[in-house]
Every structure is written in C-alpha cells, then in structure tokens.
Amino acid sequence: MLSLPLRDDARLGALETWHAEEFAAHMDRAREHIRPWVGQRFVTDDVDGARATLARYAEWQAADGARLYGIWHDGRLVGGVMYVSFSADLGSCEIGCWLEPSAEGLGLVTAACRALLDWAFTTRGLARAEWHCRADNDRSAAVAKRLGMTLEGVRRKAWPYQGERHDKELWAVLAEEWQEWNA
C-alpha cells in the first residue's frame, strides 16, 4: 500500500473500499464525536454504510474529483482527511478532516492537511484551497489558521444540524500564499 509517513507512529494513506470493516469500526469510536461537525452523509452506522461511503469517494476520485485518505496512528485508523471537492478545471478544492477523540492534539490532522495542500498546489497546480467549518468549531478553525488560511467570510445559518441552523465559516489559502509560507 502506498502511504506517506506523518511521523514515526503515524501515516497517511488512501482509504479504499477494502477498508470498509476498519472504517466502520473507526466510525463506531468516532461517530458521536464527529457527527456535529461533518456532513451527515459521511457519518455511517454499519459496514454497508462504510462501504457505500468509501465507494462513493472511489468513484469521485476516478473522475478526478473528491478523494479520501485515512490517518493511521500506531497501526489503527483514527481519522482522515479529504478533498471534499476537487476541480482541476476550476483550479480549486475544499479540504476537510475528522478525527476520533483518542488522536486529538497530536498534530496529525495538520500534518495530513499540509500534504493535501502541497499536492494540490505543487503537483496539480491548483490556485485555491478552501476549508469550511461551523463557526463554533474552534478546533477546526485552529487547523485552518495553522495551515495559513484566511477567514474570508461567514455564511449565516448555512449548516443544519439536529433541527438548528449554524453559521459556517469559509477559510481559504491561495497557491502563491502557500508557496510563500512554505518556502
């Protein structure tokens, strides 16, 4: 399997349909923790749902669109990062992440997102990368800041969750900013 070391005890790798059982077990550990912060269609409840989610991303990746990557810490799937959207034609993407509680605070998401941004800008030549999060998700906004992103605005009441609507922040970094910041 192809993977990218994030540090000695962690790696980033493709999350594919054959990982369905592992992904479902991970979702059992992460589900209630991530449910308020990620798209509702992403949170699965069983192996069939996990397989369907992974298959959906495999189809999108085959069409040069969205992609999904897992983060393994000490050999266990603990979260991941994704291109929520990816358009070479438009020169832009949106990245996102999720993590189970046991892996928070280790810098894994920031390292993994750096790899996604570097590939998008350096290898694929994209011009812009976005990060969307609920306005009350301080941990997510902190990752966007660590990645050198700028808060561009707030979409009011754009995030529905459990019968309430929440504000959604839009963060972004441009290719030239990324190159300058990472020179």
pLDDT of residue 1: 52
pLDDT at 36: 81
Which position has the token pair 């812009």? Answer: 128
Query: pLDDT by residue for the chain (183 residues), tens digit each?
Result: 578 999 889 999 999 999 999 999 999 999 888 888 887 777 888 999 999 999 999 999 999 999 999 999 999 999 999 999 999 999 999 999 999 999 999 999 999 999 999 999 999 999 999 999 999 999 999 999 999 999 999 999 999 999 999 999 999 999 999 999 887
Predicted local distance difference test score (pLDDT) of residue 110: 97
Q: Which helix (H) or strand (E) holds 155?
A: strand 150-161
Residue 13 and residue 96: Cα distance in Å, rounded? 15
For residue 126, the 8-state DSSP code is -
pLDDT of amino acid 163 = 93
pLDDT value at position 9?
95
**Given this model, what pLDDT does residue 32 score?**
86
| Per-residue H/E/C for 59-110 | HHHHCCCCEEEEEEECCEEEEEEEEEEEECCCCEEEEEEEECHHHCCCCHHH
